[in-house]
Structure 1
Amino acid sequence: MPITRDQVAKQANVSSATVSRVFNNPESVSEQLRNKVLKVARELNYIPNKAASQLRRSGTGVIGVVKINKVNRLYYWGSLKLFDWFYAQAQKGMLKAIENTSYQLSFYSINSKEELLNISNKVDGIVGYDIDNDVEESFFEDLKIPYVLAHHICPNNKYMHVSTDNEYGGMLQGKYLKNNKVENPIYITGFVDEVLSHQQRLKGIQSVYPSIHVKEIDFLNKKILHQIISNLKSEIKSNQYDGIAFVNDLLLVQIIVKLNIDLPIIGYDGAPYISLINNVSSIDFHIDDIYELALSKVISLINGNKIDGEIIRPSIIE
């Protein structure tokens, strides 16, 4: 016979209603009590009845994760294979947020506001994945269900959000170089006019190095990359630069693996492959934490709680 909620409640010395709240509205239960109930549930191998929970809520039991297709862009990082790990980390965070609830996730890619409105009739709430401009934000204006937008969205009072702070991350890059006694760094970036996060990161590092030499390149062009690598070799050899910061780890890897240099070097994104390169640092903006929190906030909104948007600041990986 399957273990029941009442058996978990008896073993944990709590009410059956408390067990229900732990699995259906975890934010309403203290962390200490929640951990106590979850420990007993694991020991008894208790599996919540998701279908029954959905019926009691009169909802679908589904939270939608929506990606808006980025079309007609010169550059979008998410379309590159070397960034597939990023979406996997976001999914990991969201799955963690629902592992002790009765909710399930459904993933969608859309091109229009009409598609989003149609999806909103099939789910109880929505997480907007990488919403990064005003047009995409406007898709969510008329939604009648709870939603939270992440992660490059600029914080504002109009849309519920969980955001990163790219300007702060750029400042951390500058501080890293300063702490390593770098006096003449170079900052290598690209597509600054097209990508808001690149603008913000540049502004951040310029707050530490106002006169930093900035080299903007089309880093999707292999010929240009080859020329940049050749130029950097001679410039570093002539002591023009004593440290390098990159707008992202992808650009760092493309260039640094071709150079044999011993300088302070820092990228951005916290890509897993960075650990394979010696003496290189990066900025981790905790993508799994951002999306775990975003989905937890959606659940809180579904349950009628009042919440605020939030910023998760990045940190240095050394």
Structure 2
Amino acid sequence: MGRCTRVHKVLEGISLAKRKDVAKLAGVSEATISRVFNNVGPIREETKQKVLKAAKTLNYQPNALAQSFATGKSGNIGVIIPYLPKVHLLSTHYFSGILSGIGIQLGKCQYNLLVMFQSPHEPKDYVQLFRSQKIDGCIILGAKNDEQEIKEIERLHELKLPYCLVNQTYEGYPFHSVDAKHTEGSFQAVSLLLEKGFKRIAFINGPLEYSNSMERLKGYRDAYLNVGIEPPSELVFQGNYSRTSGIQLSTEIAPLMSNIDAIFSGNDRMAIGLMQGLSKHGYHVGEDYALIGYDNSDVASMVQPQLTSVQVPLLEMGEMAAEKVLNELNGKSVVLQERLPVTLIERASIQVKKEMRK
């Protein structure tokens, strides 16, 4: 038996129901079957349900390629994320949380999620992805505040192509975005430390080309100013949101620990890297200093002492971004910019045993 024949026999075992079979069982024309599955033209709800019931009975699967030609749509929503060599972004709490939310929402509407990696050095051309009919809409993660990025997003916006930014906003631009209230989250975290008597609070931030980094820095400063204290700018450090950068910064921070009561980190990965690095220098969380992270990843409750962290609704952000793109795709009005609240989760990492310095 040849290979093609074997494949044919396997397919027969699954289902080879054709459009005419569904039309016969539903008592409608083949053209009606096409209109239902391609969502083209007016269809009575009663007729639509008869067709769907017949298709389910016969295990009929419409040809995706034929649907694409009929509707002019691919059925794919592209999720564009940065490609960084040796960095497994999809395994991080941040990206996996947002992607899960996007996938859940797209699945409800029978759209496919197409992950598209983009090198930081690669020229950006988001519009081309639509022209090639690879995607019907796009969700952009990891966008930066640079001139080229803004120019490309402006093109998307001017052409009214369905898109949404996640965790990045641009001051003064009416771009579609879903974000969290990062200034508020940072303010809550630093205010809690100040309320507990910690006065010399170091801050490990991410790159300032991300709007959420700028917002966390503002929250840090506002918390100090709110109690009438000038923010200690000499205790502000910058990592890149990786655990490795937290470890590297520990060598810079360790000599200053005699003048530091607590540390606030822009994400949990840097916080945990810092914990590991400082422990090698003889400084331990809960004994020598308090520590707060950000994102409330799973690992925050696994380390010892458990890490106090700001919970960001990543799953909900992903769902909302996908919903916005689908609404744009279907011609529905959408709110340009959405901001979701964050929650401070207190754990043992802020319970310092040693007497705090005055």
TM-score, length-scaled by structure 2? 0.64
In 2, the alpha carbon distance for the partners of 1:301 and 1:68 equals 24
In 2, the alpha carbon distance for the partners of 1:223 and 1:311 equals 33
SS at the partner of 1:163? strand
In 2, the alpha carbon distance for the partners of 1:106 and 1:182 equals 49
In 2, the alpha carbon distance for the partners of 1:176 and 1:113 equals 41
Specify whether residues 268 and 80 from structure 1 end up closer, same or farther in structure 2 by C-alpha distance, changes over 3 A only. Answer: farther
* Superposition pairs of residues 246-257 of structure 1, within 5 angstroms: 246-257=265-276
C-alpha displacement of 1:218: 5.5
Specify whether residues 62 and 195 from structure 1 end up closer, same or farther in structure 2 by C-alpha distance, changes over 3 A only. Answer: closer
Specify whether residues 200 and 155 from structure 1 end up closer, same or farther in structure 2 by C-alpha distance, changes over 3 A only. Answer: same
Q: What is aligned with 2:165?
A: 149
1:226 pairs, out of 248, 251, 273, with 251
> For the Cα contact (< 8 Å) 2:124–2:152, is it kept in 1?
yes
1:64 and 2:85 correspond: no
Which has the bigger relative contact order, CA under 8 A and spacing at least 6?
1
> For the Cα contact (< 8 Å) 1:187–1:247, is it kept in 2?
no
In 1, the alpha carbon distance for the partners of 2:171 and 2:238 equals 29
* Deviation sequence 1:280-301 (CA, Å, 0-9, x none): 2111222221121111111111
* Deviation sequence 1:18-54 (CA, Å, 0-9, x none): xx89xx8xxxxxxxxxxxxxxx9xxx9x998583865
1:120 and 2:134 correspond: no
Q: What is aligned with 2:292?
A: 266
SS at the partner of 1:94? helix
1:140 and 2:153 correspond: yes
In 1, the alpha carbon distance for the partners of 2:130 and 2:81 equals 14
* Superposition pairs of residues 173-192 of structure 1, within 5 angstroms: 173-179=189-195, 181-190=196-205
1:103 and 2:111 correspond: yes
1:307 and 2:307 correspond: no
In 1, the alpha carbon distance for the partners of 2:248 and 2:93 equals 26
Q: Based on CA coordinates, which of the two structures has the bigger radius of gyration?
A: 2
* Deviation sequence 1:142-164 (CA, Å, 0-9, x none): 23421111222236552111122
> For the Cα contact (< 8 Å) 1:184–1:212, is it kept in 2?
no
Q: What is aligned with 1:292?
A: 319
Specify whether residues 98 and 194 from structure 1 end up closer, same or farther in structure 2 by C-alpha distance, changes over 3 A only. Answer: closer
* Deviation sequence 1:187-218 (CA, Å, 0-9, x none): 22256655543332121122121224342346
CA RMSD of aligned residues (A): 3.9
* Superposition pairs of residues 238-249 of structure 1, within 5 angstroms: 241=261, 243-249=262-268
Specify whether residues 285 and 101 from structure 1 end up closer, same or farther in structure 2 by C-alpha distance, changes over 3 A only. Answer: same
In 2, the alpha carbon distance for the partners of 1:62 and 1:118 equals 15
Matched positions, count: 274
Q: What is aligned with 2:32?
A: none
Specify whether residues 300 and 93 from structure 1 end up closer, same or farther in structure 2 by C-alpha distance, changes over 3 A only. Answer: same
1:204 and 2:219 correspond: yes
Q: What is aligned with 1:159?
A: 175
C-alpha displacement of 1:101: 1.6
In 2, the alpha carbon distance for the partners of 1:155 and 1:281 equals 30
Specify whether residues 224 and 244 from structure 1 end up closer, same or farther in structure 2 by C-alpha distance, changes over 3 A only. Answer: closer
SS at the partner of 2:117? strand
% identity of equivalent residues: 20
In 1, the alpha carbon distance for the partners of 2:328 and 2:151 equals 20
SS at the partner of 1:189? strand
SS at the partner of 1:154? coil
SS at the partner of 2:179? strand
SS at the partner of 1:88? helix
Q: What is aligned with 1:84?
A: 92
In 2, the alpha carbon distance for the partners of 1:82 and 1:301 equals 26
> For the Cα contact (< 8 Å) 1:63–1:106, is it kept in 2?
yes
1:275 and 2:301 correspond: yes
In structure 1, stretches of 5+ residues that fail to align are 8-19, 25-39, 72-77
